[in-house]
Structure 1
Amino acid sequence: MNSQRALSNRTVASGSVYGAPCWVSLTTCDLSAAEKFYTAVLGWEWRTGKLGEQYRFASVGGVPVAGISAVAAMQPKAFAWTPYFATADADETVARSQERGGTTAVGPLSFPPGRAALLADRDGAVFGIWEGELVSHWEEWRRAAPVFVELHTRDAFDAAIFYAEVLAWASDTADCCEVHYENEKVILRSRGDVVAHIHSGAVDSARDPSMRPRWQIHFAVTDVHACIEAALAHGGCLVREEREIGEAILSDPDGSRFVVNAREQFPSRSKGNGLGIQ
């Protein structure tokens, strides 16, 4: 609680978006192939920024919406989409994660105009944190390429408590995220928008010990079927399609999974039941 009060005395350069997803980034072994794939599937444009030739920024209408970094060819699981959450102090956030059983893979490192770290929660799901100014303002990012992130884990309530304590969700911090429980999922809202889900199946279902907890990125698109066709034509795969809800899980040529959702089916602003996580 003392760390949460300390956070409330700081100003977040990312637009006072505490604990909300603020960026998504992909690792790949072939930047050129990844650019071609995501241009075809999601219509993105590309540029190089201050981070050099091995990190490329995707944009929509001139607004940066995602990043792709090149890494050496490794195990397939090294290539994945990762969500980043806004924080006021990367060092404090890393310390809170470690105190609660999380692990630190990288950082915090300085990437002007901010600092970043790559972490994993106590079940092994990888996520990032970002302290500082965003490449684009949060509201612009949300409008340019609507996105929400979803954690598939073994225990949704335990995970919600971990992230609430690490990222100051549902705290007395100004502009923090609200946490609710709806339709057997933990729902995270920032400024009224649904920005994240956490779920582990039905309340009375048994845990699946073989499940690998992971964050999954959802992108809003105008035509799910067109995205599927483009992915298949450019070396990707269709993992699963749910036509009745306008959703498809796709895999890029590296095996990195992501989800496309019909814009009209994207999460709403409806209110739910508060969990009272403090």
Structure 2
Amino acid sequence: MSLIVHDLDAAQAFYADVMGWEFVASTLGGSFSVAMAHDRPVAGIGCCSPAASPPAVWTPYFAVDDADETADRVRERGATLAVGPVKLAEGRAAIAADRDGAVFGIWEGMALAWSVGRGSAPARLDLQTRHAFEAAIFYAGIFDWAQPPGGCTVDYAEDHVRVKLEGRTVATLRGGGIETAADPRIRPRWIVDFRVEDGARAAAAAFDAGGESSLVPALDDPSKDAFIIRDPYGALFTVSGP
């Protein structure tokens, strides 16, 4: 998961206050740092000039064997390749937007043995999209989901699609996103949910640090609470308790 902003120091201060993260230098240079929680990597935050900075958005990166081949698949399926593939440290990366505008990244190179819902990885990864089943076909074609050996299992439910790896849900695709919505919270996007000790404390800290927060039902269990947080740069993410 990564976030690109135009002021790295200010972003680090915000996420240190809200999430309790610490930051260390990365192999990508001084304009990119790694967020750490309990001495384990959680996410990356990078910086570029305000003139070149895209809208701030938390972006999930999917590991691929060949960035060029994956980029070709993105274009063939009518989506947008915004950046790359470009060489980045010891790997190659690209940023794309699917046909409904949800931003995601691809990475070719060495990667953490990192899986959603485990260890320091985000607790959940959800796609809010216009039509869950169409999105599942799109992403399955790009990333070879459901292709053995070792492929994901794609389970189609009444109103959502679950992508599972070894029986565990690693992503959920949900319909109902509206591309032209004035409220960015309901536009198509990848939703990154980070686990925190106290969601209410994180939400209050976000408000005090210049962001916004709102209480919503947790996507995986509507009987529980989660918080949508918007940082001072406009990037949205959610937090939920242990």
| TM-score bin (small chain) | 0.7 to 0.9
1:51-200 matches, within 5 Å, as 51-73=28-50, 78-134=55-111, 136-138=112-114, 142-172=118-148, 174-182=149-157, 184-200=159-175
Which consecutive residues of structure 1, in runs of 5 or more, have no partner in the other structure? 1-23, 202-206, 264-278
SS at match of 1:260: strand
TM-score w.r.t. length of structure 2: 0.88
Shift of 1:74: 5.5
Shift of 1:183: 5.6
Matched, 1:226 2:201: yes
Cα distance 1:163–1:118, how it changes in 2: closer, same or farther (>3 A)? same
- Write the distance in 2 (CA, Å) between the matches of 1:216 and 1:139: 15
Aligned length: 233
Which amino acid letter does the alignment assign opposite residue 261 of structure 1?
S
Identity of aligned pairs, percent?
A: 42
- Mapped contact 1:76–1:254 kept (Cα < 8 A): no
SS at match of 1:53: strand
- Write the distance in 1 (CA, Å) between the matches of 2:3 and 2:102: 15
- Write the distance in 1 (CA, Å) between the matches of 2:94 and 2:52: 21
CA distances 1:210-230 after superposition (whole Å, capped 9, x unpaired): 343211111122211111111
Shift of 1:90: 0.8
Which amino acid letter does the alignment assign opposite residue 227 of structure 2?
A
Shift of 1:182: 3.6
What residue is the counterpart of 1:249 in the other structure?
228
- Mapped contact 2:204–2:213 kept (Cα < 8 A): no
SS at match of 2:87: strand
Shift of 1:231: 1.0
Which consecutive residues of structure 2, in runs of 5 or more, have no partner in the other structure? 182-186
Larger % of helix: which? 1
- Mapped contact 2:5–2:53 kept (Cα < 8 A): no
**Greater RCO between the two (CA within 8 Å, min separation 6)?**
1
